Chains A and B, each alone.
Chain A
Amino acid sequence: MRALIGVAATGATAVVQYPLRSVATVACVMAVLVPYLSGLGLSRGIEADADEAIRGGADLYVTGSRFGRDVPVPVAAAGAVRQIEGVGDVIPRIVGAVSLGREGVDAVLVGMPPGRVPEAVACVDGRLPVAGAGRHELAVGSELARRLHLRVGDVLPPFYRARGGERLAEVVGIFRADVSLWQAHLVFTTFDDAQAIFDQPGLATDLLVWCRPGYAEQVRRAILTSVRLAPAGAPAGAAAEARPRVTTRQDLEALVPRGLLYREGVFNLLFVLAFAVAILVVLVTAGFGATGRRREIGILKATGWQTDEVLLRGGVESLLLSLTAAAASVLLAYAWLVGLNGYWIASVFLAGADTAPGFRVPFRLTPVPVLLAFLIALAIVMSGTLYASWRAATAPPLAAIRSAR
């Protein structure tokens, strides 16, 4: 046993003996592991933020459906939903896409009744929009404000067309960068202002329904069977009537664990290819110092070492190299995603993000992906180095020494 430990200890000597080869191998593995860990860390971070979005949202989201596509709902339908037993509150909401500035920067405009969440003032620098102002009042996302050089108090010329005429808009608040990933391109305003901007009076994108505990499923069924989504004054069953569509909190929660499994099929597939390439690259880098290695193995065999001892030495060397690569990759991924806030790499994985993100990049490293990264590193390094060691160890010692000349 002591002899085996002695043989294993020479693995550390082998790492130091060929520094160029060791550094090249660690660098090759890190080139694959750092983006892999960054992607997994971002994925976990988005998952945590998505959980928060589900918790902070409504129990039910009611929209209209026609020909399998979502359509707006009449605001008047909120009254009918309120009458259903078990309903706590119903809020109409408008969510739509707008383009701002000369460059036409895409943004998502959300209109909600004002003053609903008093503590939300802490989310913005400035204040939240209020109803009844002469101009439209807007709170804009941090990345949007940076791209368009907007500050609190700036006035925007009309960026929409409406039958009732257009109005100026004033930036009254800018969302703080650490609030959420999804505030980056957000334009928040009051419900009335959103209706005016989209020129859709009497309509909302969806109705947000909060239910009393235990009533969500009952309310969902009641909405599907009894609520009419027809324009005001239209007769029952009119062609203009849309069917209600209800998305529950449970529907959204069910997406999260399935999302993780789904990601493994898409995201990991790409990295399987990257790992396969990395093995070939490590095989090439194993060529650094290969002459010395063959001569050394030949001498070891000539002095009585067995093939399994040579492989054990090579295995310990691979273990140390892969441990170094995995640990350094974790540190580098952490520094990149947290210290540098995902400069460049966040824009690779997050659609629409700037090279230097104007929001706090969600990132969460957990032990399982790190363990996985270590095992992958081990597999890459061992596949790349053990074959070369085995070839040299199974050759006659004299032939190994001669071939190394």
Chain B
Amino acid sequence: MSRHGPAILLALIALLSAAAALMLGLGPAEPGPRAPAFQRLVGGLGFGPAVAPDGCTFNFDPRLCPRCGREHGPIPGGADFCPAHAVSVFAYPPLPPAGATRAE
């Protein structure tokens, strides 16, 4: 083992950590510049982690379908019966029933 091994190791770890911190600062923070025009064009479309409404429309956009048709809430774990939600990175609850708002 080299006598300078630990020093080189510490320098490498510091460099790696600095690069990781830099990536955090450089990361794409907001949607692309054309995103607002697209959303105005389609009147607001898309919300969840799906690129198409096949499988689970609620997972694509709750405006099109206010709740998942495969959700079986009273059963333990029943909310995750839908394959679109089992490993979802962005799951959300159903919209409130017709005629009610969350403020009520």
Contacts and interface: CB of A to CB of B under 8 A. Distances in A.
Interface of A: 9, 12-13, 15-17, 39-43, 45-50, 52-58, 61, 65, 68, 70, 91, 93, 95, 97, 106-108, 110, 112, 116-117, 119-120, 122-123, 128, 143, 175-176, 178-186, 188, 205-206, 208, 217, 220, 224, 243-248, 250-252, 254-256, 258-259, 262-263, 266-267, 270, 320, 323-324, 326-328, 330-331, 334, 338, 348-353, 359-360, 362-367, 370
A12 B4 CA distance: 11
Contacts of A360: 32
B28 interface: yes
Q: Which 5 A-B pairs have the closest CB atoms?
A: A57-B44, A56-B39, A182-B46, A259-B92, A12-B6
14 contacts: A13-B1, A15-B6, A49-B35, A61-B63, A97-B52, A119-B37, A180-B39, A251-B102, A263-B88, A326-B20, A327-B16, A338-B27, A351-B84, A366-B24
The B interface is mostly helix, strand or loop, or mixed, namely loop
Contact of A349 (B32, B43, B49, B62): B49
B78 interface: no
B89 A182 contact: no
From B6, B19, B93, residue with most partner A Cβ within 10 Å: B6
Contacts of A254: 102
Contacts of A208: 43-44
B63 A206 contact: yes
Contacts of B50: 350-352
* Centre residue among B31, B54, B61, B64 by max chain A CB count within 10 A: B31
A330 B88 contact: no
A250 B103 CA distance: 9
B70 to A, nearest CB: 13
Nearest to A50: B47
Given A49-B31, A248-B101, A351-B59, A331 B65 contact: no
B93 A349 contact: no
A364 B28 contact: yes
A151 B33 CA distance: 24
Nearest to A326: B20
A316 B47 CA distance: 44
> Quick one: which of B1, B5, B41 has the most chain A CB within 10 A?
B41
Task: Classify the secondary structure of A's interface with B.
Answer: helix
Contact of A365 (B10, B24, B39): B24
Contacts of B41: 112, 116-117, 120, 123, 128, 188
B93 A120 contact: no
B80 to A, nearest CB: 6
Contacts of A352: 50-52, 54-55
B40 A120 contact: yes
A266 B93 CA distance: 12
A327 B23 CA distance: 10
Given A247-B63, A328-B16, A58 B44 contact: yes
Contact of A182 (B19, B23, B43, B51): B51
A16 B9 contact: yes
B36 A323 contact: no
A364 B90 contact: no
Given A327-B16, A351-B55, 7 more contacts: A12-B7, A13-B1, A47-B90, A117-B40, A184-B51, A217-B101, A255-B62
Contacts of B48: 46, 50
Contacts of B6: 9, 12-13, 15-16
B19 A331 contact: yes
B28 A338 contact: yes
B92 A143 contact: no
Given A43-B89, A327-B17, A110 B44 contact: no
B44 A54 contact: yes
A218 to B, nearest CB: 13
A362 B40 CA distance: 19
A307 to B, nearest CB: 23
Contacts of A47: 90
A273 B80 CA distance: 17
Interface string B75-104: 000001000111111111101101101110
Contacts of B40: 56, 116-117, 120
A254 B55 CA distance: 24
A65 B42 CA distance: 22
Most B C-beta atoms less than 10 A away, residue of A46, A250, A349? A46
A19 to B, nearest CB: 9
A283 to B, nearest CB: 23
